């Protein structure tokens, strides 16, 4: 890799193919003036901040509504831009596309990465899925960054269209189900799909490819070290990582799940590693609940439900139960047979993980970051 710059800059090669997108003029100005960048979930998502040292601030309300402002150095992202360039032969001739808002860290990462290597940039977050498909084709996008939820909406609108010019899809923000993977292969026959497991605090943790074992999110991204703390007899414990891509800290807010041990960081994820170094995350410790004295990870249930044919998205919720500690309920998007889904949970995880009720929605409500709105979904059971 080339030597890492210590400030974000704008390559003169980069063209903004959708120049009127909210926040893009402000991002361009911040990059040209090398000022700090504040991203926030508002109508004006980007604000330049004048201060002696350049920082990047990502403000997020999160799926549970607790606001935090993440502060990171330019180097922490620039190192991964250059690593990606080497791994995937990224170049100035590429056209990057995104399906989200600049307030979302994945979208902002893609936009700043394009500006760093000199690629063209198309930001399609404000368009309908049908319009996104048309623009991806017309603008000849070759690199796409999106969440699984955004990709599923794109697939629903695809019908008999395809995007042969796409060569690389980065998916992050949740597990991509097999049905969507197969559909993406038809829509984008020349594209390699790379799933990123990470967080706004960590950037990359692992990369998953089609060869990754079922249930795993792949092996560590180059430069990342992983260890499992205090594993139980099955190897399950808290995931800790060390890498050059970590954030600097919270400028506002905090999280009891985010903890440092020297230069090692944990964000409260639980999981295990196999002998080949593949990571199998179970879910966040702060979402883990007990049902009849057994630990349950809602994320594990969600991943299993999305393997069922016809299910486009799924969210599992844990509601208080005076007798069992919690009861599990679920919301699915798409066609589903509740009895089949319950049986799937019973056989694959256990009776304690079976949703007591499964509701179907035409569209699961999402936050600006493209993740399910857990607070809005929990209101479906208020008073029940």
Whether 331 shows a pLDDT value over 70: the answer reads yes
N- to C-terminal Cα distance for the chain? 57
Spatial neighbors of 241 by CB under 8 A, at least 6 apart, are: 202, 205, 220, 224, 225, 226, 227, 264, 265, 266
Model confidence at 286, in pLDDT bands (50, 70, 90)? Answer: confident
Does a structural domain hold residue 313? yes
Same domain, yes or no, for 209 and 87? Answer: yes
Does a structural domain hold residue 303? yes
Of 118 and 349, more confident: 118
Does a structural domain hold residue 72? yes
Contact in structure between 209 and 194 (CB atoms under 8 Å):
yes
CA angle 89, 99, 4 (to 5 degrees): 40
Contact in structure between 194 and 207 (CB atoms under 8 Å):
yes
Domain that holds residue 294: 287-381
14: three-class secondary structure by DSSP: coil
Whether 108 shows a pLDDT value over 60: the answer reads yes
Does a structural domain hold residue 14? no
Same domain, yes or no, for 254 and 364? Answer: no
CATH number for the domain that contains residue 348: 3.30.300.30
Please identify, among 236, 255, 283, the residue that sits at the C-terminal boundary of a domain: 283
Same domain, yes or no, for 300 and 231? Answer: no
Please identify, among 254, 283, 312, the residue that sits at the C-terminal boundary of a domain: 283
Does a structural domain hold residue 237? yes
Model confidence at 285, in pLDDT bands (50, 70, 90)? Answer: confident
Contact in structure between 184 and 169 (CB atoms under 8 Å):
yes
Token pair listed for 171: 């998916």
Burial (CB count <10 Å: 0-12, 13-18, 19+), residue 3: exposed
Does a structural domain hold residue 160? yes
Whether 303 shows a pLDDT value over 90: the answer reads no
Please identify, among 265, 283, 301, the residue that sits at the C-terminal boundary of a domain: 283
Whether 3 shows a pLDDT value over 50: the answer reads no
Token pair listed for 92: 């100035």
Model confidence at 383, in pLDDT bands (50, 70, 90)? Answer: low
Does a structural domain hold residue 181? yes
249-252 vs 68-72, strand pairing mode: antiparallel
How many angstroms separate the CA atoms of 293 and 270, rounded? Answer: 18
Averaged pLDDT for residues 248-272: 93
Q: Which of 339, 211, 356, 227 is nearest to 279 (CA)?
A: 227
347-375 burial, b for 16+ CB within 10 Å, e for fewer?
Answer: eebeebbbbebbeeeeebebbbbbbbbbe
Q: Is the pTM of this model over 0.95?
A: no
Q: Total domain count for the chain?
A: 2
Does a structural domain hold residue 12? no
What's the pLDDT score for residue 63? 52
Q: What phi, psi does 79 have (nearest 5°)?
A: -60, -40
Give residue-wise pLDDT tens across range 44-56.
999 999 999 999 9
How many angstroms separate the CA atoms of 228 and 111, rounded? Answer: 33
Same domain, yes or no, for 267 and 191? Answer: yes
Among 26-30, 57-61, 161-165, the least confident range:
57-61
3-class SS string, 197-266 = EEECCCEEEEEECCCCCCCCCCEECCCCEEEEECCCCCCCEEEEEECCCCCCEEEECCCCCCEEECCEEE
CA angle 301, 306, 312 (to 5 degrees): 135
């Amino acid at each position: 890799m080339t030597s890492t710059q210590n400030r974000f800059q704008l390559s003169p090669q980069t063209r903004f193919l959708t120049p009127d997108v909210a926040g893009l003029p402000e991002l361009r100005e911040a990059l040209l003036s090398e000022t700090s960048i504040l991203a926030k979930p508002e109508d004006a998502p980007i604000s330049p901040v004048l201060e002696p040292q350049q920082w990047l601030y990502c403000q997020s309300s999160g799926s549970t509504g607790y606001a935090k402002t993440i502060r990171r150095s330019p180097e922490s992202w620039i190192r991964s831009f250059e690593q990606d360039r080497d791994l995937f032969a990224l170049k100035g001739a590429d056209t990057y596309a995104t399906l989200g808002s600049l307030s979302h860290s994945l979208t902002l990462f893609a936009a700043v990465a394009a500006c760093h290597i000199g690629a063209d940039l198309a930001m399609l977050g404000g368009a309908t899925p049908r319009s996104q498909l048309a623009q991806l084709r017309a603008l000849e996008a070759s690199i796409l960054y999106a969440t699984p939820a955004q990709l599923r909406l794109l697939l629903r609108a695809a019908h008999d269209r395809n995007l042969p010019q796409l060569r690389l899809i980065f998916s992050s923000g949740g597990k991509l189900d097999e049905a969507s993977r197969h559909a993406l292969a038809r829509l984008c026959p020349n594209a390699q799909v790379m799933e990123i497991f990470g967080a706004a605090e960590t950037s990359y943790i692992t990369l998953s490819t089609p060869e990754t074992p079922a249930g795993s999110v792949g092996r560590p991204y180059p430069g990342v070290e992983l260890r499992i703390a205090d594993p139980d007899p099955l190897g399950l414990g808290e995931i800790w990582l060390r890498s050059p891509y970590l954030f600097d800290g919270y400028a506002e807010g905090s999280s009891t799940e985010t903890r440092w041990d020297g230069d090692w960081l944990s964000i409260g994820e639980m999981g295990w590693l196999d002998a080949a170094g593949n990571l199998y995350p179970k879910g966040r410790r702060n979402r883990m609940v007990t049902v009849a004295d057994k630990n349950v990870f809602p994320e594990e249930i969600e991943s299993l439900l999305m393997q069922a044919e016809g299910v486009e998205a799924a969210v599992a919720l844990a509601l208080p139960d005076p007798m069992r500690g919690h009861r599990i309920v679920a919301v699915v998007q798409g066609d589903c047979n509740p009895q089949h889904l319950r049986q799937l949970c019973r056989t694959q995880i256990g009776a304690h993980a079976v949703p007591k009720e499964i509701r179907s929605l035409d569209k699961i409500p999402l936050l600006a970051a493209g993740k399910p709105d857990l607070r809005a979904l929990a209101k479906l059971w208020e008073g029940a």
